């Protein structure tokens, strides 16, 4: 996995208190706990969105950091659009520039997860970023628009990004925290593991699954981990309280414990 350790992810932290509570829940030493912080092209520029309840202001992100020897902080960068396509065309290097700005502001982060629809030019920008910061993970989210029932189509797309990423995360929930696409994620993850083994033994990208995960849904895809235990997980939506304002910490604890058990 490009030399990077396996992780269990919990994403969407807003306060240091939430981070500290999650860390106190404990986790397996054979993995790192990946604390996910949501940032978008809009929130970087102070533009409000309907998801402000889980996107901390840029000025508050430094306060989320709590040192721990077995914790990885990942910024989930949501590409999105700003004032329509015209502005995107005027700023073709925006992805690279934003990642470099965030790296300079928060040098303690372990890397980025790239959410949203990437372009061919973005693939080159990710490659450029990794050439400057090979120590940082770049996790490419394979979401609904990226996914296809024809696996060869997915592999053709992934080939564009291969040199610029360290990990692949499969998530068909569309950011809605549902598990409707989990069966497709399960089947493609198995295929991707096998494909990597055949094409590039010993030089694998990390592979992770997400989308509607909690302790119960992880149990439903235990078969994936029985064959391929080296699979990362990430969760957010189903770990929240009903009003979405914070985490339901007993659910977080259950999810982490089940994820840890999948290694045994």
Model confidence band, residue 16 (pLDDT cutoffs 50, 70, 90) = very high
3-state secondary structure (DSSP) of residue 35: strand
Task: Identify the pLDDT of residue 250.
Answer: 96
Provide the pLDDT for residue 177.
52
Q: What is the pLDDT of residue 2?
A: 62
Residue written as token pair 């092209």: 41
Indicate whether 89 pLDDT > 70: no
Q: In this prediction, what percent of the chain has a pLDDT beyond 90? A: 53
Looking at residue 3, what is its pLDDT? 63
Mean pLDDT over each residue of the chain, to the nearest integer:
87
Read off the pLDDT band of 31 (50, 70, 90). Answer: confident
Which is nearest to 127 in space by CA: 98, 101, 163, 75? 163
What are the domain boundaries of the chain?
7-261
Homologous superfamily of domain range 7-261: Aldolase class I (3.20.20.70)
Instruction: Please tell me the predicted confidence (pLDDT) of residue 29.
Output: 73
CA–CA dist 78, 42 (Å, integer)? 9
- Band (197; pLDDT cuts 50, 70, 90): confident
The three-class DSSP label of residue 162 is helix
- pLDDT band, residue 254 (cuts 50/70/90): very high
Q: Is 202 left (phi over 0), alpha (psi -120 to 50) or beta?
A: left
Reported confidence tier of residue 255, pLDDT bands at 50, 70, 90:
very high
Q: Can you tell me the mean pLDDT for 105-119?
A: 92
For the stretch 129-183, pLDDT in tens is 999 999 999 999 988 788 888 888 888 888 889 889 999 999 877 655 556 677 8
The Cα–Cα gap between 168 and 166 comes to 7
3-state secondary structure of 9: strand
């Amino acid at each position: 996995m490009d030399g990077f350790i396996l992780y269990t992810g919990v994403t969407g932290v807003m306060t240091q208190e939430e981070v500290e509570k999650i860390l106190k829940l404990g986790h397996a030493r054979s993995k790192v706990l990946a604390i996910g912080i949501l940032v978008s092209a809009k929130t970087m520029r102070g533009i409000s969105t309907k998801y402000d309840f889980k996107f901390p202001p840029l000025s508050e992100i430094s306060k989320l950091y709590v040192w721990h020897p077995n914790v990885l902080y990942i910024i989930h960068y949501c590409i999105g659009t700003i004032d329509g396509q015209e502005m995107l065309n005027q700023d073709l290097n925006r992805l690279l520039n934003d990642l470099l700005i965030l790296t300079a502001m928060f040098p303690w982060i372990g890397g980025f997860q790239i959410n949203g629809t990437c372009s061919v030019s973005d693939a080159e920008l990710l490659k450029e970023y990794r050439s400057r910061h090979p120590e940082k993970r770049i996790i490419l989210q394979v979401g609904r628009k990226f996914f296809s029932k024809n696996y060869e189509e997915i592999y053709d797309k992934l080939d564009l990004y291969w040199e610029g990423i360290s990990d692949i995360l499969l998530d068909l929930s569309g950011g809605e925290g549902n598990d409707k696409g989990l069966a497709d994620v399960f089947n493609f993850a198995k295929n991707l593991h096998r494909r990597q083994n055949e094409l590039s033994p010993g030089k694998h990208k990390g592979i992770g699954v997400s989308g509607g995960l909690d302790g119960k849904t992880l149990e439903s895809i235990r078969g994936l981990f029985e064959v391929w235990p080296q699979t990362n997980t990430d969760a957010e939506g189903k770990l929240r309280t009903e009003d979405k304002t914070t985490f339901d910490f007993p659910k977080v604890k259950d999810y982490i414990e089940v994820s840890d058990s999948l290694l045994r």
